[in-house]
């Protein structure tokens, strides 16, 4: 059957039968975002096209990983999210790489200093413990610091919000096959339980999540490579008055994943055990026109790789962020802060570095519709000295807060500090490295009509300076600059009262250099059909164009091109009111498309998953 005919048929089916009023559809009216300014602003006041995943949206993806969910968003390619469960993830956001993406959890950077690129491994997280996600793309180092070059991913964990005692159980089981295999047994299991208590000034939430996934070999082969993961969290909030609150948390994330020999592309009995423990303390003190926030976190990371070349990595981070948010008037908002971070790890000997960054950010909101968001950060690094980053983001809005046209632009810089591995590691270390710098220009337009219609078109160009590469003598800053250009187009529409449509398209082109596994063209689309007051059907479609890759099993490596592919997923959810129970059935890669995310490695075929969410 022709693929395009089938896709059109599925979409048409949902349109024809869309006749009943909506029940638990997500509404976007008066949406508030915080990531681009650290102030809660209405979408009309934001100078960026911020992506926000609300709790109700995340609830639709039971049993999935966070990487799978955000891989459907504009400008984002999470390479490895469609492979075996333990695959290394590459964050190709706007043509960048892992070290250009900053991940924050509850406002604190969680980068792992022992990793070569000091990035954060999203595989560690369980979607069941995440409340919401905001993603702001573009250079944001002035507001968030090192690594915020192509995107900042802000993850908020779940907290107790309802009075009394509440229980939540999330569970799913599914298949995990490659293409061409017959669905015969369940070998993907996800289970989570959470207990929350709230009374007067105190609230508590504790949760435990476990995942076990088997059935797929890392490389194309016959030996399966399972993943086992555990997530434990505990958070408490003390709010004795309307002007003061303090929140503490403990988070334990651990997984063990078996993997194969990536150089010979053969089966092997290797495994990686990765663990991260995080302690956090956040306090707020409200003043008449402002608020003082103090965030403190200690993060300990431990990774052990067992193979013919065993390695053991241990690292820790201590981060403090003191912020004073002041509202001069309804038009002028300001943030003054200082962030200090200390990083420690051990290679042949102990290595450490530290940064102290004062920063300021100003937001101007004119009644005429003209808004400006601008900021400066002065980075002081213990190894390479000082570095200044900046941002300037004007926007102009025509209309009301619920129906408006927005014209936006920005010019901003970002820096990526050399990792401890680059500075002091066992292979090619260079203590004289300078930070990489990115300069980004954006311009676009957005039309917003509350939950009925929303579309945006954005152009961006990014210049990469002082790029760090591994050359003949080890890591060096290369003299050549690189440029990335692209277009992002999104559209969200309520076609009928009970039929929502979302789509996005991204074009990415990196000049002066050949990049691997980044599609020049990528498109996503979904139809969410409310069949009855309690039942919804969602169809997801994704297209990836041809990508360059290389065969590293031969020396020298040979270049090749991976074929384009398109994937179709379908999910059905039914909600029971008493008890508050949601049952779901999803089928991914419905057509069992043959494709490769990474040359020589397995990709997921047609799989089904049964899920349950119970609240009482």
**Contact, 606 vs 183, CB < 8 A?**
yes
Residue where the block lists tokens 């190709």: 92
Residue 78: closest CA among 469, 522, 513, 570: 522
Is the link from the previous residue into 556 a cis peptide, with omega within 30 of 0? yes
Range 423-451 average pLDDT:
93
Q: What is the pLDDT of residue 15?
A: 40
Range 293-314 average pLDDT:
93
pLDDT per residue as tens digits for the range 56-70: 999 999 999 999 999
Measured CA to CA, the distance from residue 94 to residue 71 in angstroms comes to 12
Measured CA to CA, the distance from residue 93 to residue 606 in angstroms comes to 26
Q: What is the pLDDT of residue 451?
A: 75
Residues 6+ apart with CB under 8 A from 96: 149, 150, 151, 462, 484
Say what percent of the chain tops pLDDT 70.
95
Domain ranges of the chain: 3-615
Measured CA to CA, the distance from residue 615 to residue 166 in angstroms comes to 7
pLDDT per residue as tens digits for the range 194-224: 999 998 899 999 999 999 999 999 999 889 9
State yes or no: pLDDT of 227 exceeds 70: yes
Range 237-247 average pLDDT:
93
Measured CA to CA, the distance from residue 449 to residue 27 in angstroms comes to 12
Measured CA to CA, the distance from residue 343 to residue 383 in angstroms comes to 12
**Contact, 231 vs 238, CB < 8 A?**
no
600: helix, coil or strand?
coil
**Contact, 347 vs 315, CB < 8 A?**
no
| Cβ neighbours of 483 (radius 10 Å) | 15
Written as six digits, the tokens of 462 are: 């990014």
Q: What is the pLDDT of residue 311?
A: 87
Say what percent of the chain tops pLDDT 90.
80
Is the link from the previous residue into 154 a cis peptide, with omega within 30 of 0? no
Q: What is the pLDDT of residue 17?
A: 37
**590 CB burial (10 A radius; 0-12, 13-18, 19+):** buried
* Sequence-ordered strand ranges (E) for 262-349: 266-286, 290-306, 311-327, 332-346
Range 474-486 average pLDDT:
95
Range 352-356 average pLDDT:
95
For residues 79-105, one letter each, b for 16 or more C-beta atoms within 10 angstroms of the residue's C-beta and e for the rest, the string is bbbbbbbbbbbbbbbbbbbbbbbbbbb
User: What is the chain's length?
Assistant: 616
* Sequence-ordered strand ranges (E) for 497-603: 499-510, 521-530, 535-544, 547-551, 558-562, 565-576, 580-588
Report which of residues 417 and 28 the model is more confident about.
417
Q: What is the pLDDT of residue 24?
A: 33
Range 329-335 average pLDDT:
93
Measured CA to CA, the distance from residue 97 to residue 438 in angstroms comes to 12
Residue 504: closest CA among 482, 481, 521: 521
Written as six digits, the tokens of 282 are: 């956040």
Measured CA to CA, the distance from residue 412 to residue 462 in angstroms comes to 10
Q: What is the pLDDT of residue 30?
A: 55
State yes or no: pLDDT of 427 exceeds 90: no
Q: What is the pLDDT of residue 29?
A: 45
Q: 2.60.120.1600, 3.80.10.10, 2.40.170.20, 3.40.50.1370: which CATH number matches 3-615?
A: 2.40.170.20
Confidence class of residue 85 from pLDDT cuts 50, 70 and 90? Answer: very high
Residue 39: closest CA among 330, 421, 466: 330
pLDDT per residue as tens digits for the range 11-56: 433 443 343 333 333 334 457 888 888 988 888 889 988 899 999 9
pTM beyond 0.85: the answer is yes
Range 552-577 average pLDDT:
93
pLDDT per residue as tens digits for the range 368-404: 999 999 999 999 999 999 999 999 999 999 998 789 9
Residue where the block lists tokens 């070998």: 187
Residue 274: closest CA among 427, 110, 82: 110
73: helix, coil or strand?
coil
Average pLDDT, the chain: 91
C-alpha pair distances (Å), 285 with each of 262, 292, 335? 51, 5, 15
Confidence class of residue 184 from pLDDT cuts 50, 70 and 90? Answer: confident
pLDDT per residue as tens digits for the range 443-462: 999 999 877 899 999 999 99
Q: What is the pLDDT of residue 22?
A: 33
State yes or no: pLDDT of 2 exceeds 50: no
Written as six digits, the tokens of 262 are: 């990536």
Range 244-248 average pLDDT:
96
């Amino acid at each position: 059957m022709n693929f395009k005919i089938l896709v059109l048929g599925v979409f048409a089916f949902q349109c024809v039968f869309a006749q009943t009023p909506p029940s638990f559809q997500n509404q976007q009216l008066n949406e508030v975002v915080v990531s681009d300014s650290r102030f809660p602003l209405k979408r009309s006041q934001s100078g960026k096209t911020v992506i926000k995943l609300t709790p109700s949206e995340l609830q639709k993806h039971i049993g999935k990983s966070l990487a799978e969910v955000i891989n459907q968003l504009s400008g984002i390619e999470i390479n490895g999210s469609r492979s075996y469960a333990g695959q290394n993830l590459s964050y190709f956001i706007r043509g960048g790489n892992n070290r250009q993406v900053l991940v924050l959890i509850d406002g604190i950077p969680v980068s792992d200093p022992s990793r070569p690129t000091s990035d954060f491994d999203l595989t560690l997280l369980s979607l069941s413990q995440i409340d919401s996600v905001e993603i702001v793309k573009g250079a944001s180092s002035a507001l968030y610091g090192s690594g915020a070059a192509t995107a900042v991913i802000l993850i908020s964990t779940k907290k107790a919000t309802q009075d009394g005692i509440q229980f939540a159980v999330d569970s799913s089981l599914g298949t995990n096959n490659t293409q061409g295999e017959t669905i015969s047994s369940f070998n993907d299991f996800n289970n989570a339980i959470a207990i929350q208590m709230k009374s007067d000034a105190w609230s508590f939430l504790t949760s435990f999540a476990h995942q076990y996934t088997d059935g797929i070999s890392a490389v194309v082969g016959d030996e399966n490579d399972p993943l086992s993961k555990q997530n434990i969290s505990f958070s408490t909030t003390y709010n004795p008055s309307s002007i003061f609150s303090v929140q503490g948390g403990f988070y334990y994330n651990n997984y063990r994943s078996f993997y194969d020999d990536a150089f010979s592309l053969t089966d092997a009995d290797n495994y990686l055990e990765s663990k991260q423990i995080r302690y956090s303390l956040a306090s707020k003190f409200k003043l008449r026109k402002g608020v003082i926030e103090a965030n403190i976190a200690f993060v300990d990371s431990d990774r052990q790789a067992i193979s013919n070349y065993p390695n053991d990595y241990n690292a820790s981070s201590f981060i403090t962020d003191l912020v004073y948010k002041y509202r001069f008037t309804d038009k002028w908002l300001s943030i003054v802060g200082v962030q200090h971070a200390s990083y420690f790890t051990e290679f042949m000997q102990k290595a450490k570095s530290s940064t102290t960054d004062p920063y300021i950010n100003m937001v101007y909101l004119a009644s005429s519709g003209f808004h400006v968001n601008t900021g400066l950060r002065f980075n002081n690094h213990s190894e390479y000295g000082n570095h200044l980053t900046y941002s300037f983001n004007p926007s102009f809005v025509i209309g009301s807060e619920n129906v408006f046209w927005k014209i936006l632009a920005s010019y901003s810089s970002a820096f990526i500090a050399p990792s401890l591995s680059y500075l002091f590691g066992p292979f090619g270390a260079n203590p004289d490295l300078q930070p990489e710098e990115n300069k980004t220009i954006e311009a676009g337009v957005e039309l917003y009509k509350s939950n009925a219609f929303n579309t945006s078109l954005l152009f961006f160009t990014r210049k990469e300076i002082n790029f760090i590469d591994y050359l003949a003598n080890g890591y060096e800053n290369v003299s050549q600059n690189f440029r990335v250009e692209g277009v992002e187009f999104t559209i969200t529409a309520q076609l009928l009262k009970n039929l929502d449509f979302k789509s996005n398209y991204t074009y990415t082109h990196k000049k002066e250099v050949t990049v691997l596994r980044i599609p020049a063209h990528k498109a996503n689309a979904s139809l969410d059909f409310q069949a009855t007051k309690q039942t919804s059907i969602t169809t997801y479609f994704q297209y990836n164009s041809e990508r360059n890759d290389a065969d590293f099993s031969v020396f020298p490596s040979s270049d090749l091109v991976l074929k384009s592919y398109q994937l179709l997923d379908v999910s059905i959810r039914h909600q029971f009111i008493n008890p508050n129970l949601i049952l779901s059935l999803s089928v991914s890669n419905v057509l069992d498309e043959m494709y490769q995310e990474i040359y020589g490695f397995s990709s997921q075929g047609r799989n089904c998953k049964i899920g349950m969410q119970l609240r009482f």
